[in-house]
Chain A
Amino acid sequence: MSKLKIRIRGLKKYFGPKKVLDGIDLDVETGTGMVVIGGSGTGKSVLLKSILGLITPDEGSIEIDGIDVLKAPVRDARALRQQIGMLFQNGALFDSLQVWENVAFGLLAQKKVSRVKARDVAVEVLAQVGLGADVARLSPSELSGGMQKRVGLARAIAARPAIMFFDEPTTGLDPIMGAVIDELIVDCVKKLGSTSIAITHDMASAQRIGDMAAMLYEGQITWTGPAEELLTTTDPVVDQFTHGRAHGPIKMALRK
C-alpha cells in the first residue's frame, strides 16, 4: 500500500453563512495524480488554497507527510508547504518581471543562486516546457495564453517540488494547446516523481493528467475513483457533471 502524501479530514470553510467546504475528506497517495472535479463556485480553488495556507479553514485537518499543517508550528508548516509548486489558472505571472525572472523567482527570492546562474536555470526549465531561450527576455504581456501557461508551469517546476497543484490548467486554451499543456504536466510530474492535485472542468484533461479523481459537490467529496472511470461511473452526480446533462441531481438553483 502506498504512503499517503496528503490526507484531509473534515475540512470546513465558511464565508459568512455560505458553506463552501463542508467536511472534505480526501486522500492523495505519494506519486499519484488526483483530479478534483466540480461545478463553478463549489470550492475547488478554496480547497487548494487551504492546503497552500492561503486561506485558513474553519475546521478539519490537512496532513502533509503525516503532519497536520494546520496545527504544526508556523515554521514547520511553511517548510512542508514549500514542497508545493502551483500552476495558477491564469498563469499569475509577475507583470513587472521578465519571463526568466518569473521562472527563477523562487531561486532569486531565496538568494540561493546568482542572477546569472538563475537565468541559466530558467532557460533550462523553459526548454523542458518547450520554450526557447528567446522567450526568456520577453515580458509576460508579450506571450500568448498557451505560452503563459507554459511559463507558469516552468515556474512551478523550477524548484523541483514534491507536490504540484494545477488550477484549471487548460481553461482558456484551444483543445490542441490544452492537450499540449496536459502532456507537459504529465511529463513534468513523472520526471519529478511528484504527487499532484489538479482541479478542472475539462473531462478530457482530467483523464489525461489524473490517476484518481474526486467529485466535489455541495461542499463534500461525494465520489472518488480511478480517473479513467469518470465517464463510465454510475454515480448520478458524476454522470450528470461529466456528460454535461441539464437534468439530474445537480440542481441549477445551486449554480446561481
Chain B
Amino acid sequence: MRLLDAVAWLGAFVLAMVEYVGELAVFALAGVSHLLLPPYFPRQIGRAFMEIGYFSLPVVALTALFTGMVLALQSYTGFSRFGAESAIASVVVLSVTRELGPVLAGLMVSGRAGAAMAAELGTMRVTDQIDALSTLSTDPMKYLVAPRLLAGTIALPLLVLLADILGVMGGYLVGVYKLGFSSGGYLTSTFSNLEAQDVISGLIKAAVFGFVIALMGCFNGYRSRGGAQGVGAATTSAVVSASILILALDYVLTQVLFVK
C-alpha cells in the first residue's frame, strides 16, 4: 500500500507540475500578446518602470559595488599564491559583466520588485480589484500584467549596466587603494581584456531575467487565493520561483552565448 501511495503522490505531483507549467506558459503568451496589441497604458508602463527600475537602484548599486570589492580582494588572496595578481582586473570585469552583474541584480530585483508585484496583484485579486477592472471594460492582463512585463524587460538591463560600472569601480577602489596597483595599469588591464560581447551578453541575460521576474511576480499574484495568507504565499512563491529560474536560465544562456 505504501508503494501505491508513493506512486499516487508522484503522479499527482507530476500532474500538478504540468498544469502549473501549462498555466504559466498560457499566462506568459497572453501577457506578451497584450504588449503587442493596443490599447496601451503608458502611465502604467511608467509606474512599473519606476517600481522595478528606479526604486531598485540603491540596492543594485550597493550590491554591485561590494561584489566588485570582494571579488578583487578574494582574487588577490587566491591569485597571489601562484603569482597571477595581474589578472585581478580582468577577472573582476569579466565576472561582473558576464555573470555577477546580471545574476545578482536579478536576484536583488526579484526580492524587491518581484515580491512587491506579487503582493500588489495578490491584494488586488483578493479584494476584487481585478474583477472590478473587468467590469470597467479593461482587460487586467493588458492593464496590470503587460506593462510590468515590458518594464521588467527594459529596466533590468539598465540596472545591470549600472551594476557593471559600479562593480568594476568597486574592484578598482580595492585594487588601487588597498592592494597598491597603479590606477593606469588597473584600468588598462580592465579594458584590454573586455570585449563588447561580454557586456552585451550580460545585458541579454538581464533582459531575460527581467521578464522572468515580472512574469513570476504577476503570475503568482494574479492567481492568489484566500486572504492575507494567500497573498503571502504568492509573494514567497514569486521570489523563490523567479530566483530559481534566474539561476537555471543563467546556465542555459551561458551555454548559448559563450560556449562555441
Q: Do A and B truly interact? A: yes
Complex: A54 Cα to B129 Cα, angstroms: 12
Q: Is the CB of A82 within 8 A of B137?
A: yes
Interface residues of B in 86-144 (CB under 8 A from A): 120, 123-124, 127-129, 131-132, 134-138, 143
CA of A96 to CA of B41, assembled, Å: 15
Q: Which size class do A's interface residues fall under?
A: 20 to 34
- How far does the Cβ of B223 sit from chain A's closest Cβ, in whole Å? 14
Q: Is the CB of A109 within 8 A of B128?
A: no
Closest to A158 in B: B136
B39 at the interface (CB under 8 A from A): yes
Q: Is the CB of A90 within 8 A of B128?
A: yes
Interface size on B, as a range, is 10 to 19
**Chain B residue with Cβ nearest A107:** B136
> How far is it, in angstroms, between the C-alpha of A92 and the C-alpha of B127 when the chains are bound?
6
Chain B 147-186 against A: per-residue CB contact (8 Å), 1 yes, 0 no?
A: 0000000000000000000000000000000000000000
Binary contact track B23-55/A, C-beta < 8 Å → 1, others 0: 000000000000000010100000100000000
- How close is B90's CB to chain A, nearest CB, in angstroms? 46
Residue of A nearest to B135 (CB): A86
Helix, strand, loop or mixed for chain A's interface? loop
| Chain A residues whose CB sits within 8 angstroms of the CB of B127 once the complex forms | 90, 92
A49 to B128 Cα, complex, angstroms: 11
Known: A90-B127, A92-B127, A111-B39. A52 touches B134 (CB 8 A): yes
- Please, which residues of chain A bring their CB within 8 A of the CB of B135? 52, 54, 84-86
Among B123, B128, B138, max chain A CB count under 10 A is at B128
Q: Decide if B131 touches A109 in the complex (CB within 8 Å).
A: no
Residues of chain B lying within 8 A (CB to CB) of residue A78: 137
A106-B137, A109-B138 given as contacts; is B129 within 8 A of A86 (CB)? no
Query: What residues of B have a CB within 8 angstroms of the CB of A49 in the complex?
Result: 131
Contact of B131 (CB < 8 Å), options: A54, A82, A105: A54
Tell whether A94 pairs with B128 under 8 Å between CB atoms, given A109-B143, A111-B39.
no
Task: Tell me the complex Cα distance, A82–B135, Å.
Answer: 7
The A86-107 residues at the B interface (CB cut-off 8 A) are: 86, 88-90, 92-96, 105-106
B215: shortest Cβ distance to chain A, in Å? 21
Within 8 Å of chain B (Cβ to Cβ): is A144?
A: no
Q: In the bound complex, do residue A53 and residue B134 qualify as a contact, i.e. CB atoms below 8 Å apart?
A: yes
User: By the criterion CB–CB under 8 Å, are B131 and A155 in contact?
Assistant: no
Check if A92 sits within 8 Å of B132, measured CB to CB: yes
Interface centre among B123, B124, B129, B136 (most CB of A within 10 A): B136
Closest A residue to B138 by CB, please name it. Answer: A109
State in angstroms the CA–CA spacing of A110 and B129 once bound together. Answer: 18
| B131, B134, B135, B136 interface centre (most CB from chain A within 10 Å) | B135
Which one of B124, B132, B134, B137 has the highest number of Cβ atoms from chain A below 10 Å of its Cβ?
A: B132
Partner of A89, one of B123, B124, B128, B129: B128
How far, in angstroms, from A98 to B153 measured CA to CA in the complex?
28
Residues of A within 8 A of B47 (CB): 96
Chain B residues with CB below 8 A from A109, complex form? 39, 41, 136-138, 143
Please, how many angstroms separate the alpha-carbon atoms of A54 and B135 in the complex?
9
Q: Which A residues are CB-close (under 8 A) to B128?
A: 88-90, 92
C-alpha gap A94/B128 in the complex (Å) = 10
Q: Which 3 A-B pairs rank lowest in CB-CB distance, beginning with the nearest?
A: A92-B128, A92-B132, A86-B135
Residues of B with Cβ closer than 8 Å to A? Answer: 39, 41, 47, 120, 123-124, 127-129, 131-132, 134-138, 143
Supply 15 A–B pairs (Cβ within 8 Å), ascending by A. A54-B135, A82-B137, A88-B128, A89-B128, A90-B128, A93-B129, A93-B132, A95-B123, A95-B124, A96-B47, A105-B136, A105-B138, A109-B39, A155-B132, A159-B136
